[in-house]
Amino acid sequence: MNFGAVSAIYRAEMARFFRTLLQSFISPVISTSLYFVVFGSAIGGRIQEVEGIAYAAFIVPGLVMLSVMTQATSNASFAIYFPKFIGTMYEYLSAPISFFEITLGFVGAAATKALFIGLVILATATLFVDLTILHPVSMLAFLILTCISFSLLGFIIGIWAKNFEQLQLIPLLVITPLVFLGGSFYSISMLPPAWQVVTRFNPVVYLISGFRWSFFGQADVPIGVSLLAISGFTALCLGIIWLIFRTGWRIRS
């Protein structure tokens, strides 16, 4: 195992993050505050509470998940696409590093950044609402698993992408709608029965539900199912990456 290489990649990626720390830090804080103003105060003024939880507090897990998923995906996809774009991929291919180690470095860094942003948003949220976390360990576990699995997804997108448009395509067309329709801002039970069935096919529902359970002890789907869903998603991404590296698809000629 080449730990030196994993650490070199991880540190280089984190250095990129810290170079733009202000943007990395300020932008999630501002957007979260805006969400709270719009959803929490404006809409929350009418909805009051969902399933016995104040609406402003109810949306916190969804808000955190929304940012974490999009940040993890875009960070990881950009990180691996960039060497392809500027031509430094040769360096990774000719060094004594396995593909597993490359993935570990890149995905580890992308997941760390997403986790950092998730925690910042959580901290921002406490400025607006009273928040109690019923199951902090499970909350952290869900958060970390989501950071990792969506970084893996981003990594796949970055390898697949042939240009910057494609790099933006999946996050824009797939992830954002799935997150918005995944019960970030409402409970699934608030939907008409037909839409409740459709929603069951949205994997993000399981993640947000499980994450929300960690906060309030209430969930749209059983916690075990949520855990199974996120583990399955992580395993699927790992499998795809393993296949990509085995075949050298879009990486090695």
Partner 1 sequence: MAPIVSVRDLTKTYAGGFTALDGVSLDIEEGEIIALLGPNGAGKTTLISTICGITMPTGGTVEVGGHDVVRDWRQARDLIGLVPQEIALEPFSTVWNNVRFTRGLFDRPRDDAHLERLLRDLSLWEKRDAKVMELSGGMKRRVLIAKALSHGPRILFLDEPTAGVDVELRRDMWRVVERLRGEGVTIILTTHYIEEAEAIADRIGVISKGRIMLVERTEDLMRRLGRKELRIELAEPVEALPDTLRREGLERVDGGQALVYTYDTHAERTGITALLADLQAAGLQLADLSTSNSSLEEIFVGLVKEDAA
**Binding positions for partner 1, rule: CB under 8 A:** 2-5, 7-9, 11-12, 15-16, 19, 86-88, 90-98, 248, 252-253
Q: How many Å apart are CA 141 and CA 89, to the nearest integer?
A: 33
Nearer to partner 1, 11 or 200 (CB): 11
CB of 73 to partner 1, least distance (A): 21
> How is residue 172 written in tokens?
């824009």
Q: How many Å apart are CA 209 and CA 163, to the nearest integer?
A: 34
CB of 162 to partner 1, least distance (A): 15
Q: How many CB atoms lie within 10 A of CB 99?
A: 17
Nearer to partner 1, 19 or 162 (CB): 19
**Pick from 14, 237, 171, 242: nearest CA to 106:** 14
CB of 7 to partner 1, least distance (A): 7
Nearer to partner 1, 79 or 117 (CB): 79
Nearer to partner 1, 8 or 228 (CB): 8
Torsion angle of the four alpha carbons 113, 21, 77, 186, in this order, in degrees rounded to the nearest 10? 60
Nearer to partner 1, 200 or 250 (CB): 250
Nearer to partner 1, 52 or 87 (CB): 87
> How is residue 148 written in tokens?
């990792």
CB of 252 to partner 1, least distance (A): 6
Please answer whether residues 103 and 241 qualify as being in contact, where contact means their C-beta atoms are separated by less than 8 angstroms. Answer: yes
* The Cα angle at residue 145 between residues 67 and 92, in degrees rounded to 5: 90
Torsion angle of the four alpha carbons 249, 157, 241, 68, in this order, in degrees rounded to the nearest 10? 170
**Residue carrying structure tokens 């990626």:** 13
Nearer to partner 1, 19 or 200 (CB): 19
CB of 247 to partner 1, least distance (A): 10
Q: How many CA atoms, within 13 angstroms, populate the side-chain half-sphere of residue 67?
A: 27
CB of 88 to partner 1, least distance (A): 5
CB of 93 to partner 1, least distance (A): 5
Please answer whether residues 240 and 159 qualify as being in contact, where contact means their C-beta atoms are separated by less than 8 angstroms. Answer: no
Please answer whether residues 21 and 116 qualify as being in contact, where contact means their C-beta atoms are separated by less than 8 angstroms. Answer: no
